[in-house]
Structure 1
Amino acid sequence: MIKLRKMRDDEFSAYRQYSMLAYGSDLAENYGYTLNEAADIADNKLTECFPDGIETSDHEMYCIEFGVESAAQLVGYLWYKVAEPDKTAFIYDFYVFEGFRGCGIGTQVFSKLESRLKARGVEFLNLRVASNNERAKKLYQKLAFNVTGYNMTKKID
């Protein structure tokens, strides 16, 4: 069983470390930053979105837990923001830990998320996926996401 639980302040530092590595690696690979530059950019983005910590933001950060209540374990993270006037939500980060991929957790998470968003009047769910992330693209296509454009970047020397 999957549960989306609001991230606690004491868990945010572990997420910050994960983000600096994962998002930083994505930035380095796709935009040509050094790993140190990319980690700084990733950390600055979190600081910008959560200036006073996790409880003071209009962004929503969840821990994904798998298993029965008494033995549930952390298996990933979900970060999104709802823009009520536009009836949209944007997923900033969705991550399932390596050992838990391929067993339906992603599908279950999106089912729960879509139910929550629909109850709030959200009509569109948006995200960005790295061009080299084939596994994620396959999941999103299975969940009926449509490609609406392509992000393209050129490094000017």
Structure 2
Amino acid sequence: EEALQKSKESFQHLLPDGLQTDHHFLLSLSKPDTNESIGYFWYHFDENHPQKEAFIYNFLIFEPYRGQGLGRRALESLEKHVKKQGVKKLSLHVFAHNKRAIHLYQQAMYDITDINMSKDII
């Protein structure tokens, strides 16, 4: 219940004008052969950013379509798409427990730029 409330607050903060929020882009992903929806991207890019960096807030391939190479193809398509906008660097955050995503990003040549660590003290 608390997580849902925090999620709503986060979305309201990041997307105050919903889909019309400046510099935020939400893209639907569809399977090439059938055009069925397989996931989405949400990224932020402000063309005035000095390093021309875009940040991927969310990238999701729906469960039935995972493990088929579609995530890799989606990232390649996103790179081509943002390059046309003038993006020179794509960044994102991935949780350490999400081994599948880490593997995908490393295959796509993303570099680890930061590591947070924690320890539960019981």
The TM-score with structure 2 as length reference comes to 0.87
**Out of 63, 67, 79, which is 2:42 matched to?**
79
2:2 counterpart of 1:43: no
Partner of 1:97: 62
Q: Does 1 or 2 have the higher relative contact order (CA < 8 Å, sep 6+)?
A: 1
SS of equivalent residue, structure 1 residue 83: coil
Q: Distance in 2 between matches of 1:122 and 1:72?
A: 27
Q: Distance in 1 between matches of 2:41 and 2:69?
A: 15
Q: Distance in 2 between matches of 1:57 and 1:155?
A: 39
Which amino acid in 2 is paired with 1:100?
Y
Partner of 1:142: 107
Q: Distance in 1 between matches of 2:56 and 2:96?
A: 16
Q: Distance in 2 between matches of 1:132 and 1:40?
A: 23
Partner deviation per Cα, 1:20-55 (whole Å, 9 max, x = no partner): xxxxxxxxxxxxxxxx22211111111112212212
Q: In the alignment, is the contact (CA less than 8 A) between 1:51 and 1:57 conserved in 2? A: no
Structure 1 stretches (4+) deviating beyond 3 angstroms? Answer: 152-156
Q: Distance in 2 between matches of 1:137 and 1:100?
A: 17
Which amino acid in 1 is paired with 2:18?
G
Deviation at 1:123, TM superposition (A): 1.2
Computed over aligned residues only, the root mean square deviation of the Cα atoms, in angstroms, reads 1.9
Partner of 1:11: none
Partner of 1:130: 95
Deviation at 1:57, TM superposition (A): 3.5
Which amino acid in 2 is paired with 1:52?
D
Q: Distance in 2 between matches of 1:154 and 1:52?
A: 38
Extract unaligned runs of 5+ from structure 2. Answer: none
Q: In the alignment, is the contact (CA less than 8 A) between 1:77 and 1:94 conserved in 2? A: yes
Aligned-residue identity in percent:
36
SS of equivalent residue, structure 2 residue 37: strand
Partner of 1:113: 78
Q: In the alignment, is the contact (CA less than 8 A) between 2:23 and 2:46 conserved in 1? A: no
SS of equivalent residue, structure 2 residue 79: helix
